Structure 1
Amino acid sequence: MTDAQVRALAVIEQRLAACTQAGDARKADAYAECFTEDGVLQLDAAIAGREAIRAWMRGPSVIPQPGGGVPGFISHHLTTCRVEFTGEDSASARTYWLVTSAAGLDHNGYYVDALRRVGDAWLIAHRRPRTLWISTASVLRR
């Protein structure tokens, strides 16, 4: 790995962390700014473009709010991350995550990201989350 790639890796890891924290906090602007202008968030359907991603994040959460006075939170924890540089201004990453909620370990999976350098920033050009496991007590099952 070159010195430039080592520096880029640190910037990419910070971007992935910032995106995760902004998503958990429903901070639409901070979340959308982690993506390129033409970035894609590939859920069941593709959400294409930074402004569409911002609008999606401003909308109602796909995670239902708990009832009956149960505390409501969701917290993604990034674990193993492998970044491969595919060009001078491009990289791919696969990052595993665990999610905790009031139910405990709630669900887990991984992100497959394509990243692109835009100026001095590394931004997500395409993100595809994959869920591997969901607890029977998960907030997603409400």
Structure 2
Amino acid sequence: MTGTDASALAEIHQRLAACTQAGDARKAENYAACFTRDGILELDNQTIAGREAILSWMTAPSVIPQPAGGTPGFISHHLTTCHVDFTGPDSATARTYWLVTSAAGLDHNGFYVDKLRRENGAWLIAHRRPRTLWISPASVLHGRG
């Protein structure tokens, strides 16, 4: 690995962490800024195309229902294993596993499949496809957590 590759890898890891933390904190502008202008967020039930559309999606009410007890809930994504492949001088792919904790404990887990691109000198997410592998019966995703 060259010094340039190592630097790019560190920047990509920082971008993925920043995106995760912004998403958990519902910091919509910071989250959207992690994507290229034409970035795509491909969810199971919808595809959101473009940074402005991603910003609108993040400023809308959360897709995770509030707990039934009326007390505020939380989710916290924890990134684990991440493998990055450079596909060109300004492009890369990454597969990153994640675990989510909530008041229920280990809530759900899965992985991101990301395509990244250097845009205006910064590594950004051009396409993100999250995949959930497991959901706890007590998960906040069920609206009971």
Range into which the TM-score falls when normalised by the shorter chain: over 0.9
Preserved contact between residue 32 and residue 50 of structure 1 (Cα < 8 Å)? yes
1:53 partner amino acid: I
Counterpart CA distance in 2 for 1:86 and 1:68 is 48
Counterpart CA distance in 1 for 2:119 and 2:49 is 18
Per-residue displacement from partner, 1:52-104 (whole Å, max 9, x unpaired)?
Answer: 00000000101011132544100000000000000000000000000000000
2:65 — aligned with what?
A: 64
Residue identity over aligned pairs, in percent, reads: 76
Preserved contact between residue 66 and residue 72 of structure 2 (Cα < 8 Å)? no
1:7 — aligned with what?
A: 7
Q: 2:40 matched to 1:40? A: yes
Q: TM-score, normalised by structure 2?
A: 0.95
Preserved contact between residue 41 and residue 127 of structure 1 (Cα < 8 Å)? yes
Preserved contact between residue 15 and residue 34 of structure 2 (Cα < 8 Å)? yes
2:25 partner amino acid: A
Q: Which runs of 5+ in 2 are unaligned?
A: none
Per-residue displacement from partner, 1:77-135 (whole Å, max 9, x unpaired)?
Answer: 00000000000000000000000000000000000000000122100000000000000
- Number of residue-to-residue matches in the alignment: 142
Q: Which runs of 5+ in 1 are unaligned?
A: none
Trace 1:1-142 onto structure 2 (pairs within 5 A).
1-43=1-43, 44-142=45-143
SS at match of 1:61: coil
SS at match of 1:117: strand
Q: TM-score, normalised by structure 1?
A: 0.97
Counterpart CA distance in 2 for 1:33 and 1:22 is 10
Runs of 4+ in 1 over 3 A off after TM superposition: none
For the aligned residues, what is the CA RMSD?
A: 0.9
Deviates more, 1:62-71 or 1:16-25: 62-71
1:90 partner amino acid: S
Counterpart CA distance in 1 for 2:104 and 2:39 is 33
